[in-house]
């Protein structure tokens, strides 16, 4: 095998898969050597030989049910391995589809299936860990990753600290040995690369503790008093329900809040749909919130420039700033919308917070790609933001709350594009607070329905932090 690897290393050099000079890796590290295995698609014979070397790892791994290549460079290799081994392949999309089934994993599998990951080059290990996280959330077991090149920059350490054994055909050091022996590179290049490896390491990636950390511990990590209070409420009431009271009559909202208030932590309103809104409604609602110990959220979804947002928040007939503990905010206006709220809060003595909308539960939503990451960046760098509205585990900060809408006992959708997921599935996808609306408001026995959601959500949370 060593002779074959040595010859293959020379072939890879000859087709331009290894480059020497000044480059920057995906994780931002400057490097004198760059590996570009994407060129393999133009050299099928070499790609086939490389895939067969990786196949030896797969054949030594018992009970492999599925193979998944990290997109995109490793996909051709994973495909060849799948064909030669007759082990079915899965494809992890770069992002979930916004249409149809909205899958992020393509291919057939069963929960509990063992899946190995194929990757071309590992620096920090982040790509493998991202892939493994998604596969695991879909119920697959991931314990092995097979790699062409280990750059020897903490990637193997990071991957194995997350419970995944990593094996590689090459290390950077071994490649340098092969290429120097074949007179493909000079001793100076070897020294430059060796010196570089001694001083340049990727950051250590700690295992994702957000999903495994109990609420009372995460409460201490909050930058915002309302966020801390929500975590503590969830812990003390053993409830993660945010009730969407999207009703059009004030008395109906009040009656529902009084009935289920002891079992929820957050009541979500849309005051602009009330046909009989009044200051007295707000007074009664605040009294119930105090009586049953829950917080109020106006789901206003602010999305304008800072000055306009200030007026919408403070003024008008609703005077939201005076009574809503938290509000929802689109990230579309950027940092200026956060600055607008901060300016408004100068006149408010009580603690307040914002939920940033990063993803939506409606079919075909445009909250995808860079928009999502930019929203997360705003959330993680603001002391006024208590959490993120999203459908999946897209941030790591334990001090932020993931609020996930579209929850029903039975997975379904409506005629207007709203898509629902089960309590257990949203918790496994990172939800801390789950928005439940019609599953309770349209139930024949609303209290019984609330208790059912409360039990299922809490059971899923306990399972998440103890598994």
175, 199, 223 - which closes a domain:
199
CA distance 307 to 102: 37
Q: 319 and 344, same structural domain?
A: yes
Q: 450 and 349, same structural domain?
A: yes
Q: Would 225 be classed as within a structural domain?
A: yes
Of 360, 353, 354, residue with least CA distance to 394: 360
199, 224, 252 - which closes a domain:
199
Q: 93 and 218, same structural domain?
A: no
Please, what are the averages of pLDDT over each run of 10 residues along the chain (467 residues)? 93 96 75 94 97 95 92 94 96 62 80 93 89 83 95 92 92 97 96 92 71 87 92 95 96 97 97 96 97 97 88 93 95 86 86 90 67 84 92 86 89 51 89 95 95 95 85
- Residue tagged active-site, from 299, 325, 393, 432: 299
CA distance 434 to 420: 11
**HSE toward the beta carbon, residue 344, CA cutoff 13 A:** 26
Q: What is the separation of C-alpha 54 from the centre of its chain, rounded to a whole number of angstroms?
A: 30
Give the contacts of 235 (CB within 8 A, at least 6 positions apart): 214, 215, 216, 219
Structurally, the chain folds into a number of domains equal to 2
- Residue tagged active-site, from 102, 141, 223, 301: 301
Q: 219 and 194, same structural domain?
A: no
Q: Would 379 be classed as within a structural domain?
A: yes
Residue-wise pLDDT tens digits, 404-429? 998 988 755 444 444 568 899 899 88
Give φ, ψ of 396 to 5 degrees: -110, -15
Of 282, 295, 247, 273, residue with least CA distance to 401: 295
- Residue tagged active-site, from 208, 304, 339, 383: 304
145, 169, 199 - which closes a domain:
199
Active-site residue 339, yes or no?
no
Binding residues: 246, 268, 361, 418, 437-438
Q: 252 and 133, same structural domain?
A: no
Q: Would 206 be classed as within a structural domain?
A: no
Active-site residue 346, yes or no?
no
Q: Would 277 be classed as within a structural domain?
A: yes
Q: What is the separation of C-alpha 56 from the centre of its chain, rounded to a whole number of angstroms?
A: 33
CATH number, position 75: 3.40.50.2020
CATH number, position 442: 3.20.20.70
Scanning the structure block, which residue is given the tokens 């939201």?
Answer: 320
Of 101, 72, 69, 104, residue with least CA distance to 83: 69
Q: Would 204 be classed as within a structural domain?
A: no
Per-residue tokens: 201: 């390491």
Q: Would 205 be classed as within a structural domain?
A: no
Instruction: Say if CB 12 and CB 46 are below 8 A apart.
Output: yes
Q: 82 and 223, same structural domain?
A: no
Scanning the structure block, which residue is given the tokens 């529902």?
Answer: 256
Residue 116 β-bridge partners? 67, 144
Q: 323 and 175, same structural domain?
A: no
Q: 195 and 216, same structural domain?
A: no
Q: 300 and 152, same structural domain?
A: no
Instruction: Say if CB 44 and CB 51 are below 8 A apart.
Output: no
Strands (E), 87-127: 89-92, 105-106, 114-122
Binding residues for substrate: 246, 268, 361, 418, 437-438
Angle at CA of residue 153, ends 151 and 158, nearest 5°: 110
Question: For the whole model, what pTM was predicted?
Answer: 0.59
Q: 134 and 103, same structural domain?
A: yes
Strands (E), 369-462: 385-389, 401-404, 412-413, 419-420, 433-436
Residue 367 β-bridge partners? none
Active-site residue 304, yes or no?
yes
Cα–Cα distance list, 38 to 12, 116, 122 (Å): 11, 21, 14
Structural domain harbouring 145: 1-199
Terminal Cα distance for the chain, rounded: 40
Per-residue tokens: 239: 């409830």
Q: Would 264 be classed as within a structural domain?
A: yes
Q: 242 and 177, same structural domain?
A: no
Q: 227 and 182, same structural domain?
A: no
Q: Would 222 be classed as within a structural domain?
A: yes
């Amino acid at each position: 095998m060593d002779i074959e690897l040595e010859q293959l290393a020379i072939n890879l050099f000859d087709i331009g898969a290894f480059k020497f000079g000044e480059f920057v890796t995906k994780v931002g590290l400057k490097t004198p050597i760059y590996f570009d295995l994407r060129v393999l698609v133009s050299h099928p014979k070499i790609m086939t030989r490389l895939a067969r070397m990786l196949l030896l790892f797969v054949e030594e791994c018992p009970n492999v049910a599925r193979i998944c290549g990290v997109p995109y460079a490793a996909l051709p290799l994973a495909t060849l391995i799948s064909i030669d081994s007759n082990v079915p392949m899965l494809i992890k999309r770069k992002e979930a589809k916004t249409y149809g089934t909205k899958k992020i994993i393509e291919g057939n599998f069963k929960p509990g299936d063992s899946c190995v990951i194929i990757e071309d080059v590992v620096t920090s290990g982040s790509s493998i860990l991202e892939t493994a996280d998604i596969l695991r959330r879909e119920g697959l077991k991931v314990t092995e990753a097979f790699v062409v090149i280990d750059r020897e920059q903490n990637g193997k350490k990071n991957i194995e600290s997350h419970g995944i054994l990593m094996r590689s055909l090459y290390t950077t050091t071994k490649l340098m040995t092969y290429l120097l022996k074949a007179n493909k590179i000079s001793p100076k290049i070897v020294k430059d690369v060796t010196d570089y490896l001694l001083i340049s390491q990727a950051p250590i990636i700690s295992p994702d503790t957000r999903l495994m950390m109990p609420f009372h511990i995460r409460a201490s990590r909050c930058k915002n008093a309302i966020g801390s209070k929500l975590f503590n409420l969830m812990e003390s009431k053993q409830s993660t329900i945010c009730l969407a009271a999207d009703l059009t009559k004030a008395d109906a909202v009040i009656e529902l809040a009084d009935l289920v208030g002891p079992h929820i932590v957050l009541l979500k309103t849309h005051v602009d749909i009330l046909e009989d809104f009044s200051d007295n409604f707000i007074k009664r609602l605040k009294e119930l919130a105090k009586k049953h110990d829950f917080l109020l959220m106006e789901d206003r979804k602010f999305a304008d420039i800072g000055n306009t947002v200030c007026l919408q928040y403070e003024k008008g007939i609703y005077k939201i700033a005076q009574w809503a503990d938290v509000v929802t905010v689109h990230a579309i206006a950027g940092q200026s919308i956060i600055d607008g709220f901060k300016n408004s809060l100068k006149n408010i003595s009580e603690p307040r917070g914002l939920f940033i909308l990063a993803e939506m539960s409606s079919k075909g939503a445009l909250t995808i790609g860079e928009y999502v990451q930019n929203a997360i960046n705003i959330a993680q760098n603001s002391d006024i933001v208590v959490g993120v509205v999203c459908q999946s585990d897209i941030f790591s900060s334990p001090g932020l709350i993931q609020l996930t809408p579209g929850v029903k006992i039975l997975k379904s959708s409506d005629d207007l594009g709203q898509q629902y997921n089960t309590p257990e599935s949203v918790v496994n996808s990172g939800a801390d607070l789950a928005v439940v609306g019609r599953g309770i408001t349209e139930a024949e026995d609303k209290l019984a329905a609330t208790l059912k959601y409360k039990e299922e959500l809490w059971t899923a949370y306990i399972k998440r932090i103890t598994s």
